[in-house]
Amino acid sequence: MKYYDRRSGQYVEEKESGQKALDFLYKNPFGRLVLKLAINPAISKVYGVFNNSSFSAKKIDKFITDNGIDMRDFEKRKFTSFNDFFTRKLSDGAREICMEKESFISPCDSKLLAYKITEDLMVDIKGSTYNLAELVGNKIDTSSFNGGWCLIFRLCVDDYHRYIYLDDGRLDKTLEIQGKLHTVRSISKDYRIYKENSRTVSLLHTENFGEIIQIEVGAMFIGKVTNNNKENFKKGDEKGFFEFGGSTIAVLVQDKKIELHQDIIDNSRNDIESKVRCGEVIGRKIC
């Protein structure tokens, strides 16, 4: 799978990280037994406790090497656990956040796909397929977003896992949706995935881009999402962070609020993601 690197202007082949492990989990009978155990809430809780322990710090160096993570952008300190490392902060000046009020920015380091919102739009996020109503847990009316944009920001393991607010504004509503098991889609002719991801939904009233819905998606039982839930926020303020296992943000924007950059639109039409950085301009306000 290739993506477009906006900084270099080149198309890059993405390393299929973890594909062998996924094939084992979904295509091998013993692997499916391991998967069944792994998604057990009790097992996931133990795994989370381990990742927050000092013992887990021993796997940090190998994780950095295996995933080619460039640590020069990040704070230089000793990490007390794997999750402490995974939620690491940037060093000062490592990301330039465009503060022009007309600029629509990326909330995170990620790879981006943009979809025009229609009544029958279906999006695939972390192996689960949703329409917009399902994505927000059927708790928010999304009809006013028809004709707008659904932006899917997919974070990889080597990305910075903290994210920011896109604009000045206020938090109108927040929802926590728990993951659950159900039949979603075929992964092959013989096996199916049974899951719905846990997610946090925020209805944001922004100063320059109207109503925005932002959804942070975790894994089924692991992948904790931590949000600051500020009642009032400023553009560039930290909104929250993912622990290991959570790594997608969906942003819904109403029609005639932003004009996305054309390279993102063109690549998305061809199902090619665009690599973006936290604070980078990806569109402009429609005046």
Q: In whole angstroms, what is the distance from residue 251 CA to residue 151 CA?
A: 5
Task: Tell me what pLDDT residue 219 has.
Answer: 64
DSSP secondary structure of 165-204:
-SSSEEEEEEEEE--EEEEEEESSSS-EEEEE--EEEEEE
Query: What pTM did the predictor assign?
Result: 0.89
CA angle, residues 217, 279, 128, in degrees to nearest 5: 20
Task: Tell me what pLDDT residue 221 has.
Answer: 53
Task: Tell me what pLDDT residue 32 has.
Answer: 65
List the catalytic residue out of 109, 128, 159, 274.
109
List the catalytic residue out of 56, 247, 268, 274.
247
Task: Tell me what pLDDT residue 178 has.
Answer: 82
State pLDDT tens for residues 106-161.
Answer: 999 999 999 999 999 999 887 678 899 999 998 899 999 999 999 999 998 889 99
Task: Tell me what pLDDT residue 84 has.
Answer: 96
Q: In whole angstroms, what is the distance from residue 236 CA to residue 274 CA?
A: 21
Contact 231, 219 (CB under 8 A): no
Query: Is 109 among the catalytic positions?
Result: yes
Q: How many CB atoms lie within 10 A of CB 39?
A: 17
Contact 188, 27 (CB under 8 A): yes
16-to-2, 19, 157, 253, 261 alpha-carbon distances in Å: 10, 6, 12, 31, 27
Query: Is 158 among the catalytic positions?
Result: no
**Which residues in the chain land under pLDDT 70?**
16-27, 32, 35-36, 38-41, 127, 180-196, 219-223, 245-246
